[in-house]
Amino acid sequence: MPDITKKYDFFMTEISSLEKQIYVHLQKFEEIKETNKKLKATVDQLRKENEALLLKQEELESKLKEKFLDLEDINAINSLDPGEKEKIKSKINDFISRIDYHLGS
């Protein structure tokens, strides 16, 4: 009988030890699960912010291209020789005169 009692006590000790280990692992699992949930929320938020920043970047690049094109137009006008500039001014004045005439009618 003493042998059976020793075995019983040994198994009970082992079961108790295993229960403690299981409890510790469950606690760690819950902590990791909660951390994972928070990280997923952070990733979702960062993705949304990234999307907004990409849209803002596209908008700024578009505005920059418009400004660059405006500068190219100015440079193109400045590169004209004086005779061509006078011809363009004359045509513009002609158009203005026509518009004034039609508005006055």
pTM exceeding the 0.85 threshold for the entire prediction:
no
Degrees to nearest 5, angle at CA 14 with 8 and 20: 135
Q: Report the distance separating Cα 20 and Cα 36, nearest Å.
A: 24
- Higher-confidence residue of 5 and 37: namely 37
Q: What residue segments make up the domains of the chain, in order of their start? A: 2-80
31-66 pLDDT, tens digit each: 999 999 999 999 999 999 999 999 999 999 888 778
Tokens of 66: 């418009």
**pLDDT number for residue 102:** 74
**pLDDT number for residue 22:** 97
Q: Report the distance separating Cα 84 and Cα 91, nearest Å.
A: 11
78-88 pLDDT, tens digit each: 676 788 778 87
- Taking residues 62-74, what's their average pLDDT? 74
